[in-house]
Amino acid sequence: MLLASSRTRHSSLLFHRTTSCVSSLSFPSTAKRRFFWGNSDNDNGDKGNGNDKKGKSVETKDQSSNDDSSEATVSNASSLPMRLGFGDEAPRYPHLTALPVINKPLFPGIITSVTVTDEETIHALEKIKGSSGPGGYIGVFLRSKYPNGVTEGGVLLEHPEIITDPSDLFKVGSLAQIHRITRHFGNQNHDGINDEEETNDSIFAGGKTASVLLLAHRRIDLQMVDNIGPPIDVTCSHWPRMTYKMGEDSARDDIIRALSNEVLKTVRDIAQHNPLFRENATFVPFRVDANDPFRLADFVASLTTGSATDLQDIMEEKDPEIRLQIALELLSKERELSKLQQEISKKIEEKMTETQRKYMLNEQLKLIKKELGVEKDDKEALLAKYRKKVAEYKPIPDDILKIIESEMEKISTLEKNSSEFNVTRSYLDWLTSVPWGKCSKENFDIKGARVILDKDHYGMDEVKDTILAYIAIGKLKGGIQGKILCLVGPPGVGKTSIAQSVAKALGREFFRFSVGGLSDVSEIKGHRRTYVGSMPGKMVQCLKTTGTMNPLVLIDEIDKLGMGYRGDPAAALLELLDPNQNNAFMDHFMDAPIDMSKVLFMCTANDLGTIPGPLLDRMEVVRLSGYDVPEKIKIAEQYLVPKALRESGLLTDASTSEDEEQEANEATSKQNIPQSLSIEQSAIDNLVRWYCREAGVRNLNKYIEKISRKLALQVVAEEEGAELTEDSKRKSNTWVVSEDNLEEYVGKPIFTSDRLYDKDPLPHGIVMGLAWTSMGGSALYIETQAIKRGSDSEGKPRGGGLLKVTGQLGKVMEESTQIAYTVARARLAGIDPNSSYFDNNDIHMHVPEGATPKDGPSAGITMTTAMLSLALDKPVRNDLAMTGEISLTGKVLPVGGIKEKIMAARRAGITCVILPAQNKRDYDEMPDYLKDGLEIFFAEDYANVFDVAFSSSK
C-alpha cells in the first residue's frame, strides 16, 4: 500500500503542466542534442530554469498537498504549484516510472528524442506528462542486457522498453523531464493526411509508436524495481549536486586542469575533421564551464560515438579525475576515427576528381583530333576496320558482300550502348574474320610428300597411297577438291597422328576437334544470333583459326557421337560431309552460305558399327588393322625409342640446329651420360611378345618411356651419389637394356605363354577360334564338356540333349551355339549312325575370359568342331585356329576382320588357319609378310573344316 500511495502522489503531481517560462523554450524535435544546465548562480538569468528557493518550495509544497489527496486529476490543477525545478533543483521523487533506452545513456543536461514502441508504456508516459506542456518526470536507464538493441542472434529488439528481469537495467540512470510526446499515426503525407495503403501489420500503423522528447536533470541510482511492467515502476535515490572546489589539493587541481585542457583541445581537433561533431562542439564555450570537470566530462561523452558500456562507465563514475580520463579516452578514439574517415573521404574525392579530370581531358582530346581530322570517333574507326578487312580478301561472294554492307549500314545508325549494336558488331566481327577466297598453297610434289609421311609413320601404306593419289590428281587438275576420309582401326595405330602428317605433306593448315560424346547440334551448326553469348559452329571457328578456306580438318572419334535433347549431331554432319552439299554450308549464326568444298575432312573411328548408315555412306573408309610383331619392333626401333630417349634427355634431337645440338651435347657431357646406353632389339621383342599384345603401339610406347625414365634417374643418381630405392637401383653392370635385364625396368611379364593350352594335341572338346574386336584381332578358345545323364528315383535316365553356354555371350553368339549344336548332332549321325552321345550327355560350352563380353557369328565352325571333338573322342591340332559362320545346313559363310584375325593368329603362334572360301579375296589383299609361314585352308562346307581339323588327330 505504501508503494501504491507514493505512485498516486507522483502521478497527481506530474499530471499538471507548469506555467513557468520553461514552457516557452523551443526544443528541436529531431535527435540533435541541446544542453540545459540549471546552475544556481544563473538560474534567474536563463530562460526556462527556476531559482533555488522556488525549486525547493515546489517539492515541499507538492508533497504536502499529495498527502491530502491521493486521486488528483487535471481539474484540480489550480491546487498545485505552477512551477517545476530544472537541473539540480528538479524534484527528488523516490518512486518513478522507468524508461529503458539503448545505445547510450542520457547524460544530465542533454535533451534527446527516444522512440517508444510499447503501447502501455506510451500511455503511461502521456499520463505522466499531462494534457500539454512540460512537467512530467521519469527515470531513464540504459539496458544492461542487449544495450545496443540487438540480440545475440543479430535480431533487433522489437520493444527495447520492455524488460524481463530487473538485472536487465544498469544501476545508474538519469532523472528526465518529458517535454513532448508525438505519436506516429501511420504514413502521413506532407498535408498530414493518412495514407490509405498503410497496413495494420506496420508498427507505425494506428499510433503504435511515439517519439518522446526528454531533458535529463541529474543522476539517480536504481534501488529496486517495484513493478517489471510495462510500464516499469522503480524506487530510486538521487545523486547530490557534485561540484569540485579548486584550491584544496594543488596537485590534484593541476591534474584536473590538465585533463580539462586536453579534453577541450581534443574536441577542437575533432571538430576540424568531423563537420557533425563541429556543429555540436559550438556549444562548449556557452554551455559548459571548463572549471566544472563533471559537466565537462558529461558533455564531451555525449558527443562521442563510443560503446554503450564505455559511456555507462562515465555515467556511474563519481571521481572527476577518472571521469575526465574515460572521456578523454573516448575522445581520442573519436579523433582517430574522424581522421580515418577524413582520409577515406579524401581518397575517394581524389579518385573521383582524377577520374573526372581524365574523362574531361579525353573528351577534349577526341574533339580536337576530330576537328583536325587526325582521328575519327569509335563508330567510324570500327567501320574503317571492317572495310580494311574486306579489302584484304580476294573477291568475296556477292551474297556475303551484300550482308556485310547491309550490317555496316545498320551499325552506323545504332547507338553504341544499345544491345542491338553489340549483336551487330559481333556478327560483323565473324563475317569479316572468315578468310573469304583465301587458300594456302598446296604441295604437289609426290616424292616430297612420301618422305614426310614415311618420316613420322611406319607402314600404313593404304592411307599413304590414298593421299599420294589425291596429290597426283591435284597436280593434273591444278587443285585438290575436298574429300572425306574415315580411318577405322583399333586404338594406338596412329589414326590421329597420321592426319597431322597428311596436312604437312599437302601443305595445308591442320585443325582438329573431337566429337566423342558431343550431343549439341550448335557445336557444329552454331547458335542463333538471338541467344545471349551465341557463337558460330566449330567449322566457322576452324576457318577463322586456320586463316584459309582449304584446311585439313580432323573429326576425331566420329563413332562416339552422342544424341540429346539439343539435337542429333550425326544428322548435322550429313550436310557438312556431303561433297554435293557442303559448297553452301549454312551455319545458324552466320546465316549465309559458306563454301566447305575445298576442305579435306579426315575422320577417325574404332568401330564402324556405331556410325549411322547415311553418314558412313558419305565417307571413304580406310581400315587400319594394327601391327604385328615385326611391325611393332620396327616402329619401336625407328620412332618410339629415339623419341623416348630424346624426351628423357638421354639423346640429342637430330632435327635441331647446329647451335642447339652443340648446347645439348655440352649439357649431355656435363651429366656424363654413358655412350653405351641403349635399348636392344631383344628387349623390344620381349616387350612386344610378353607385355604388349594389343593391336596398337600406345602401350608399347608407355613401357619404352618407363624404361627411359628409369635410365635417366639412374644416370643422374650415380652422378650425384644419391640413394635410390631397391626397385630403382641399377642391378646389372651395363647400361644396355636387353632381354636379360628387362624385368629390372618393367617388372614381370604380363603374359607367360603364347596360348592357354600348350599341349599337342589339345584336350578333347577344345578348339581355338579367331575373333575381331575394336581393339584388334584376338585368339580365344572354345571349351566343351559332357555331363552324363543320371537316373531318377525310379531308375529312369534323366537329362540329355541339353546345351548350356557361359562366358558372357551376346544374343547373336548364343543363337550361333544353338545352330552349331544342331549341325554337330547332324554330322555325328552321318559319321556314326549308332552313336547316341548327345542323347546320353548334356553339353556345357564355355568361352574363357568370362568378364569380357563377346558377340557375333564368326565362331560357328569353331563351336561345331569342339562338340564333334568331344563326341568322337578325337583331339584337334594344337597349331590350328579357325573362323567362320556356319549355316543350319553346314555351309561356311564369310566373316569380317580377316587381317586382324590373321595377325592375332600369328601373335598366338598359330601356323594353320581355316577361313571361309568367300574371304579368299581379303586374304589375297594382305601383305606377304603376314602370309609367310602360315598354312591356310578355305572351306565352303563344314566337311572341309572337318577334314582339316581331324586329319592329323591322333
Q: Which residues are catalytic?
A: 858, 901
Angle in degrees, 0-180, between the axes of helices 398-412 and 419-431, rounded to the nearest 10: 150
Cα–Cα distance measured from residue 344 to residue 644, given in angstroms and rounded to the nearest whole number:
61
Least Cα distance to 816 among 878, 893, 762 occurs for 893
Secondary structure of residue 732 in the 3-state scheme: coil
Residue 229, Ramachandran bin (φ over 0: left; ψ between -120 and 50: alpha; else beta): left
Secondary structure of residue 671 in the 3-state scheme: helix
Least Cα distance to 830 among 876, 796, 872, 770 occurs for 872
Instruction: Copy the grid coordinates of residue 588.
Output: 545458324
Q: ∠ CA 237-239-240 to the nearest 5 degrees?
A: 125
- The answer to whether the beta carbons of residues 431 and 401 sit under 8 Å apart is no
Residue ranges of alpha helices (H) inside 432-509 are 446-456, 461-477, 495-506
Helix (H) or strand (E) segment spanning residue 906: helix 898-907
- Phi, psi (5° rounding) for residue 770? -120, 135
- Cα of first residue to Cα of last residue in the chain, in angstroms, is 130
DSSP 442: P
Residue ranges of alpha helices (H) inside 672-749 are 681-690, 698-720, 743-746
Least Cα distance to 169 among 205, 143, 147 occurs for 143
Cα–Cα distance measured from residue 333 to residue 39, given in angstroms and rounded to the nearest whole number:
31
Residue ranges of alpha helices (H) inside 274-418 are 275-281, 284-287, 293-303, 308-316, 320-372, 378-392, 398-412
How many helices (H) and strands (E) the chain has is answered by 32, 27
- The answer to whether the beta carbons of residues 464 and 426 sit under 8 Å apart is no
**Residue 938, strand partner residues:** 915
Angle in degrees, 0-180, between the axes of helices 250-273 and 293-303, rounded to the nearest 10: 20
Secondary structure of residue 23 in the 3-state scheme: helix
- Phi, psi (5° rounding) for residue 69? -140, 125
- The answer to whether the beta carbons of residues 457 and 498 sit under 8 Å apart is yes
Cα–Cα distance measured from residue 570 to residue 563, given in angstroms and rounded to the nearest whole number:
8
Cα–Cα distance measured from residue 116 to residue 99, given in angstroms and rounded to the nearest whole number:
9
**How does 276-288 read in b/e, with b if 16+ C-beta sit within 10 Å?**
ebeebbeebeeeb
Please name the amino acid found at residue 177. Q
Please name the amino acid found at residue 251. A
Pairing, β 803-806 against β 885-886 = unpaired
Least Cα distance to 675 among 645, 640, 643, 706 occurs for 645
- The answer to whether the beta carbons of residues 745 and 739 sit under 8 Å apart is no
- The answer to whether the beta carbons of residues 192 and 203 sit under 8 Å apart is no
Pairing, β 172-184 against β 136-142 = antiparallel
Please name the amino acid found at residue 669. S
- The answer to whether the beta carbons of residues 609 and 812 sit under 8 Å apart is no
- The answer to whether the beta carbons of residues 564 and 616 sit under 8 Å apart is no
**How does 735-748 read in b/e, with b if 16+ C-beta sit within 10 Å?**
bebbbebbebbbee
Instruction: Copy the grid coordinates of residue 462.
Output: 593404304
Instruction: Copy the grid coordinates of residue 467.
Output: 593421299
